[in-house]
C-alpha cells in the first residue's frame, strides 16, 4: 500500500478508537429509541444525557440542556442564524464577517434575499476582524443586531477575540453566534467566561464521526425551529436522535478535554517544525494569517508563482493529503474568499496550501513532507512559464 501522510485535519479527522469503542454498543445491543417510555429506550436516553454533559463540559456550558444535538456543523450554523433571525422582532440586521465558512455566509445570503440587512465586516491582512468597522456598524444601529462571527478560521487557523465581540454586541443588547467548528477541542472554550449566545460544534473535526454536531444555545435565547415534527431535543430540533453518534461526540469531547494540553503541545511542535522546514527549503514560501494567533494545528502557506491545485495533486501522488482553500468547497476552482478578504495578492492566493495536523500526526509525517515538498516545488517551478520572467 502507498504511504499516506494525512495533513488535512481541518477537513476531517480520523475517528478516535476510543470513540468507536464507545459507539459500538449503541449499534449492537442498546439500539432503543431514547423517546420510548420503556426501560430499553430510556436506557439509551441516559447515555445521550451523559453525552450532553460531556459536550457541555468541553465548552463550559452551565446547563447540559443548553446543548442541542444536530447532524453537523452546517446544520448548527443554519439553526443558529436562521432560527434566531426568525425570532427577531423589529430589528432585522445581521452582522457577520467576510471570512466565514459558507455554512454561515449562505444562510446570511438567504436572509438578505428575504429582506434582512446583512453587513459583512472586513478583515486585515493578518485575518483579524476590523474591530473599528464592527464598532461603527454597531454605533450606527439603534436596534440590537444578530451577529455571527467565527471563533477560528478553517483556512488560516486565525483565532478571533470572541470575548471582545460578545462585549460589544451585548452592550447593544444584540445576540452573538460563533462558529466554533475549528476551535472546539483545539482551544479552551468557556461560554460563561466568553458569553456567546450560540456556538456551533462539528463532530468530525474533533475525532468523532461525520454526521453529528451540536449547537449550544444559552438559556432564554429566542429561536424559531427549523426542523418541525416531533418534540425531540426539548422541542427545539425534531427528529429521532442519532444515539450512537451522539455518544461518540460526547466521548470525543471528553477526550479533547482531557488531552487538550498534550495535543496542543504535540501539534504546535510538529506544525512549527513543518512550517520552518518549508520556509527554509522552498523559495517564495510565505505563511498566510497571523502566525502568533492561530489554532495549534494549522499553517496556510503560499508558494509564489505556483498553482495550489497542481501542488496539491503532486503531493497527493506521493501520498500527502493537504488542501487548497477550504476542503468542503474544493470541488470549485474559486480562489479562497478568505485570502482574498485578507488582500493576499492574487498570485499568492492561487498558490496556497493548507497543512492541518492532528493528534495522530508524527515526526515521520513531517520528515516525509520535508523530503518530498522541496523537490515537487522545484519541479513545478521548472514547468511554470513565469519562472522564465
**Residue ranges binding ligand PLP (CB under 6 A):** 72-74, 77, 101, 103, 150, 154, 179, 181-182, 202, 204, 213, 328
- Smaller CB separation from ligand PLP, 19 or 72: 72
Q: How far is CA 183 from CA 71, 101, 313, 355, in A?
A: 18, 13, 28, 16
Nearer Cβ to ligand PLP (138/162): 162
Least CB distance from residue 385 to ligand PLP, whole Å?
A: 34
Q: Which residue number is nearest to ligand PLP in terms of Cβ?
A: 73
CB of 375 to ligand PLP, least distance (A): 30
DSSP 273: H
CB-hemisphere CA count at 13 Å for 238? 8
Q: For residues 268 and 328, which CB has a smaller minimum distance to ligand PLP in the complex? A: 328
**Burial of 286 (C-beta count, 10 Å sphere; 0-12/13-18/19+):** middle
Q: Catalytic residue numbers?
A: 328
Angle at 364 between CA 358 and CA 366, to 5 degrees: 60
* Minimum CB distance to ligand PLP smaller for 180 or for 306: 180
Give residues with Cβ within 8 angstroms of 71, minimum separation 6: 211, 212, 213, 242
Minimum CB distance to ligand PLP, residue 216 (Å): 14
Q: Which residues contact 185 (CB under 8 A, 6 or more apart)?
A: 58, 205, 206, 207, 252, 253, 256, 260
CA triple 57-169-195, angle to 5 deg: 15
Q: How far is the CB of 160 from ligand PLP (least distance, A)?
A: 11
Closest to ligand PLP by CB, 61 or 103: 103
How far is CA 352 from its chain centroid? Answer: 19
Q: How far is the CB of 183 from ligand PLP (least distance, A)?
A: 9
Amino acid at each position: 500500500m502507498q504511504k499516506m501522510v494525512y495533513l488535512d485535519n481541518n477537513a476531517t479527522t480520523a475517528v478516535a478508537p476510543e470513540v468507536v469503542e464507545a459507539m459500538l454498543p449503541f449499534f449492537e445491543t442498546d439500539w432503543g429509541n431514547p423517546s420510548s417510555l420503556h426501560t430499553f429506550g430510556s436506557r439509551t436516553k441516559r447515555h445521550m444525557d451523559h453525552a450532553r454533559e460531556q459536550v457541555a463540559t468541553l465548552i463550559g456550558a452551565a446547563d447540559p440542556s443548553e446543548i442541542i444535538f444536530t447532524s453537523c456543523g452546517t446544520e448548527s450554523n443554519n439553526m443558529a442564524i436562521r432560527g434566531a433571525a426568525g425570532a427577531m422582532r423589529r430589528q432585522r440586521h445581521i452582522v457577520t464577517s467576510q471570512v466565514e465558512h459558507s455554512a454561515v455566509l449562505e444562510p446570511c445570503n438567504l436572509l438578505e434575499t428575504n429582506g434582512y440587512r446583512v453587513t459583512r465586516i472586513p478583515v486585515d491582512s493578518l485575518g483579524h476582524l476590523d474591530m473599528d468597522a464592527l464598532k461603527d456598524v454597531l454605533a450606527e444601529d439603534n436596534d440590537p443586531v444578530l451577529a455571527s462571527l467565527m471563533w477560528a478560521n478553517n483556512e488560516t487557523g486565525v483565532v478571533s477575540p470572541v470575548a471582545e465581540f460578545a462585549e460589544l454586541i451585548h452592550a447593544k443588547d444584540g445576540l452573538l453566534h460563533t462558529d466554533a467548528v475549528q476551535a472546539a477541542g483545539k482551544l479552551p472554550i468557556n461560554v460563561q467566561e466568553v458569553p456567546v449566545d450560540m456556538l456551533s460544534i462539528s463532530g468530525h473535526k474533533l475525532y468523532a464521526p461525520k454526521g453529528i454536531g451540536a449547537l449550544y444555545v444559552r438559556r432564554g435565547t429566542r429561536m424559531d425551529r427549523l426542523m418541525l415534527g416531533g418534540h425531540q431535543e426539548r422541542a427545539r430540533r425534531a427528529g429521532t436522535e442519532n444515539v450512537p453518534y451522539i455518544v461518540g461526540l460526547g466521548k470525543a469531547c471528553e477526550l479533547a478535554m482531557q488531552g487538550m494540553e498534550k495535543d496542543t503541545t504535540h501539534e504546535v511542535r510538529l506544525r512549527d517544525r513543518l512550517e520552518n522546514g518549508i520556509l527554509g527549503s522552498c523559495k517564495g514560501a510565505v505563511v498566510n494569517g497571523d502566525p502568533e494567533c492561530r489554532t495549534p494545528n494549522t499553517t496556510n502557506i503560499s508558494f509564489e508563482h505556483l498553482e495550489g491545485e497542481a501542488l496539491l495533486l503532486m503531493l497527493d501522488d506521493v501520498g500527502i493529503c493537504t488542501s487548497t482553500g477550504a476542503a468542503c468547497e474544493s470541488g470549485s476552482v474559486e480562489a479562497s474568499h478568505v485570502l482574498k478578504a485578507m488582500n493576499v495578492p492574487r498570485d499568492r492566493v492561487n498558490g496556497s496550501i493548507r497543512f492541518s495536523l492532528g493528534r495522530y500526526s508524527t515526526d515521520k509525517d513531517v520528515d516525509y513532507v520535508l523530503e518530498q515538498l522541496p523537490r515537487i516545488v522545484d519541479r513545478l517551478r521548472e514547468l511554470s512559464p513565469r519562472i522564465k520572467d
